Amino acid sequence: MAAQMTDAHRRFLQVLMFHGIMEGSEARKLHRRCCEIHKVYYAHDKLDDFIGTINSHLQPLFMQIRKGMSEGDGRAHYALVNLAETEITKMASDYTENELELFRKTMDLIILSENGFASSTDILNLADQLKTKKMKKKEAEQVLKVFVEDKWLSERNGEYTLHTRCIIEMEQYILSNYQDVARKCNICHSLAIQSQVCESCGIGMHLPCVRKYFRAQTEPRCPQCNDFWSCDIPG
């Protein structure tokens, strides 16, 4: 039988729903604050159990709080995911058809790229090739800005990649729709967009996972085939 939801659980869920995604340290602070406000037993190492209770009550609603990792720095994040709809369908209520088409095409560029990034130039060049309704570049720039604000994309020096929230929410969609190129990290077994790939056997690893895995090794060797890992180990 599932543990009872308390007002502490409800408050935690409401705050997470408002933010959409939360970094692990912030989620831990929120967990403590919710328990203190509602005078519920608090244990600093029981956040995942606390979230498990919420998830057991969200199950009939086809929703779930999922844990994922930032591909940039390896930090844990928590996001509320709707399991009842495909991820692109969920976005449909917030964006127009041509905005969604631009997002899909941007996702294609990112996932099919070698490094998990797409340049703003390449994305903006797609704006006047949209089948639904062409966009001017200025308009497309504004739409990209909104995708970043809504945490579907991340931008760094004019290069775009999928935001941690997007990866957590769209993992199954991406694995199903990009079967030939989408891969899971050999270390943490979650979807890897920004990754290094073994030249011998083709397995991929997130950059933070590469850094962590090879930290103690004098000669980096692939965890799958044991061949020399030829990519530069991130510092």
For 23, the enclosing helix (H) or strand (E) is strand 21-23
Domain assignment of residue 150, yes or no: yes
Domain identity same for 142 and 189:
no
Provide the b/e sequence for 1-33 (b: ≥16 CB within 10 Å). eeeeebebbebbbeebeebebbbbeebbebbee
Domain identity same for 188 and 213:
yes
Do 151 and 163 form a contact (C-beta atoms < 8 A)? yes
Residue 216 pLDDT: 80
Count of the separate structural domains present in the chain: 3
pLDDT(217) > 80: yes
Per-residue model confidence as pLDDT tens digits over 141-172 = 999 999 999 999 999 999 999 999 999 988 98
Domain identity same for 166 and 189:
no
- Model confidence at 85, pLDDT cuts 50, 70, 90, reads low
Whichever domain contains 119, its CATH number is 1.10.10.10
Q: Is the pTM of this model over 0.75?
A: yes
Per-residue model confidence as pLDDT tens digits over 1-47 = 568 999 999 999 999 999 989 999 999 999 999 999 999 999 999 99
Residue range(s) defining the domain that contains residue 199: 182-234
